[in-house]
Structure 1
Amino acid sequence: MNIKEKVSSIKEAFTLLGVDESTLSAQEKKDLDEKGYVVFENLINEKWLKELKEKYEELVAIEGNKGGTEVHQEVGTKRLSNLMNKGEVFDGCYTHPKVLAAIHHILKRDFKVSAMNGRDSVKGHGLQALHEDWNDSFFEEGVVEQDGDYRNPNDPFNVAISLWMLDEFKEDNGATRVVPGTHLKKAPQFCIDDRMADHPEQVLVTGKAGTVVVMNSHLWHGGTNNISGEPRKVLHPYYVAREFKQQQDQRKHITKETYDRISPAARYILDVEGAF
């Protein structure tokens, strides 16, 4: 396929980006199936990591209290959004073959980027209620049945996310907590009373800078308090099954500069083909 041709399926995009059945190991697939997440250590090389951190800090300084306004702001955090339009350095985050293979293993069908945000909680902040990244209205609309604690095994997974650790995630600087296996359950608001409290089965996802985690976004998870005050910058390329709306309308926000720079495969994954 010529690189200039329009890409019309995730299969074509994967061919161009080098994603195939061997991209994930059997153990990585098992982790996604059973735990609901997988950890890729050292996925970001040293040079790229340095560039990502510098760009993140530059954008935080420029945007100040307006950071994250394209999608979401949060008290006590340095948020960024719309990162696909804020530097070539971010292009490889939402198109990384390992990440895309893991996202597809979770969703098992065509998908697109929903948003790409950044989050860095400051000292004394960052605790989030246990949640899944799926709109509650879908439960009300009957997309997911509410009887019992477990999902209907025939219900598909609709969202998945990757966490790009630009700083080391430690137990005391706001590392993400997850409850392994709960992607097979209903959303936590239907199963537990106090979602801010520690869960007896929760695990803190720690890792060195350069680590990337891919997570089934139906997994119960949330940020923890940054006790030490050390930075814990993280990027969140977030994906949704292609039949649903994006958290951030990529076609509305895509710039001509970004569109001209990225590949046809990236345009397909952002769902912006023909925007210009």
Structure 2
Amino acid sequence: MTDTASTRLQRRDDLGWAGRDRNDPEVVALREHLAANNGLAGLDILEPGEIDRAVTLFRRDGFVVVADALTPEQTQILRHGCDEVIDEIIALDDDRFGNRGSHRYSFGGSSITRSQLHRPEWQMLLDLPTVTPILAAIFGSGDYMLRAASGDFCLPGAVEYQPLHADTRDFESRSSTPYNSFSDPRGHLTLRDLPCPYVCVNFLPQDITRLNGPTRQIPGTQHSRAPMPTLDEEPEWMRLSTVCPVPAGAVQIRDVRAWHGGTPNVSDEARSIPNLEFYAPWYREPVSPSITYEDHRRLSPHAQHLTRFLVADSSETLVTGPTLRPDPPIVPLDAV
């Protein structure tokens, strides 16, 4: 890393607040309100060895938080990698319009491949002894697969709430989206009636505080068929149901069916939550090639198995880079 790049990565306070005044009275009032009230009461933060309890909380709440998943060195490597990608992405967006709302971005949705798996920092996360046993226990098998290496970040000045949503849904027309697969022709079952088909592991390269955009998570909603409230309908307790404070180096493991959403970042630093997304051994949706044949060969045997459906052919050049409008090739898994 050059001295110029290193200096830029250490200065994160110049990234946000484009078109926003951090000292606006409404922003100041929001900051004070969040500082006093934000966060899930009684949030359990486990240690990596508490595998059975992690599974219990995951199945009860739709998520679980585990501290010390990354070493301090790994945390620093991941933070620098995220900062480099952030700089590449926002260079395309001077006005900070974002692609997940103002000042809010998807790491995958801002990549040509819809993934950051070509980056060594995300590859580092594939085979962690602190995380792999928990995932195997959740899925009841080690034969799960990686969907993508993604995540999101929000900049200072992301003052709006993101609507509550889930990250997967029942089958829709392929003309609508290729990223869904389950459908019961009888109309009896939905994706929410099944065991967890799809897990997201969010890695935290910085502390998550009450002010820097913690994820709000509504416990126990992974099986709910109730309609999600709109922002206008959402009660205040849901807006404050955020996963914080959580120390850097932790992970949040989520059932992606559970209701969740982004919250305001009224701090002075970017907040990154890179992730890995996994399908259960019995569940599949289309995926996009996102790692070169050469990089795949350098992974551990376990990581190679996880990424077996994401490898570009050895004769192909994997085109990577930032974009705010990704349009990668989609590969149905039955064609791999």
2:228 corresponds to 1:192: yes
Distance 1:84 1:115 in 2: 7
Q: Secondary structure at the match of 1:214?
A: strand
The answer to whether the Cα contact below 8 Å between 2:51 and 2:134 also exists between their aligned partners in 1 is no
2:253 corresponds to 1:214: yes
Q: In proportion to residue count, which structure has more helix?
A: 1
Residue by residue over 1:98-145, the C-alpha shift from the partner in whole angstroms, topping out at 9 and shown as x without a partner, is 323333333445421111113210123263221222134369933895
2:140 corresponds to 1:114: no
Q: Secondary structure at the match of 2:153?
A: strand
The answer to whether the Cα contact below 8 Å between 2:116 and 2:290 also exists between their aligned partners in 1 is no
**RMSD across aligned C-alpha pairs, in angstroms?**
3.2
2:295 corresponds to 1:265: no
The answer to whether the Cα contact below 8 Å between 1:179 and 1:199 also exists between their aligned partners in 2 is no
Q: In proportion to residue count, which structure has more strand?
A: 1
1:174 to 213, 221, 227: 213
The answer to whether the Cα contact below 8 Å between 1:112 and 1:241 also exists between their aligned partners in 2 is yes
Instruction: Please state how far the C-alpha of 1:46 moved relative to its aligned partner.
Output: 1.2
Matches within 5 A, 1:147-158: 151-152=192-193, 155-158=194-197
Measured at CA, do residues 31 and 145 of structure 1 come closer, stay the same or move farther in structure 2, by a change above 3 Å? farther
Percent identity over paired residues:
20
Measured at CA, do residues 198 and 166 of structure 1 come closer, stay the same or move farther in structure 2, by a change above 3 Å? farther
Relative to the length of structure 1, the TM-score reads: 0.74
Relative to the length of structure 2, the TM-score reads: 0.62
Matches within 5 A, 1:37-48: 37-48=63-74
Matches within 5 A, 1:13-52: 24-52=50-78
The answer to whether the Cα contact below 8 Å between 1:36 and 1:216 also exists between their aligned partners in 2 is yes
1:141 to 162, 183, 196: 183
Q: Secondary structure at the match of 2:270?
A: coil
Q: Secondary structure at the match of 2:279?
A: strand
Measured at CA, do residues 209 and 143 of structure 1 come closer, stay the same or move farther in structure 2, by a change above 3 Å? farther
Distance 2:224 2:70 in 1: 32
Partner of 1:256: 293
The answer to whether the Cα contact below 8 Å between 2:127 and 2:300 also exists between their aligned partners in 1 is no
Instruction: Please state how far the C-alpha of 1:217 moved relative to its aligned partner.
Output: 1.3
* Letter of the structure 2 residue corresponding to residue 160 of structure 1: V
Partner of 2:122: 90
* Letter of the structure 1 residue corresponding to residue 183 of structure 2: E
Larger radius of gyration: 2
Partner of 2:285: 245
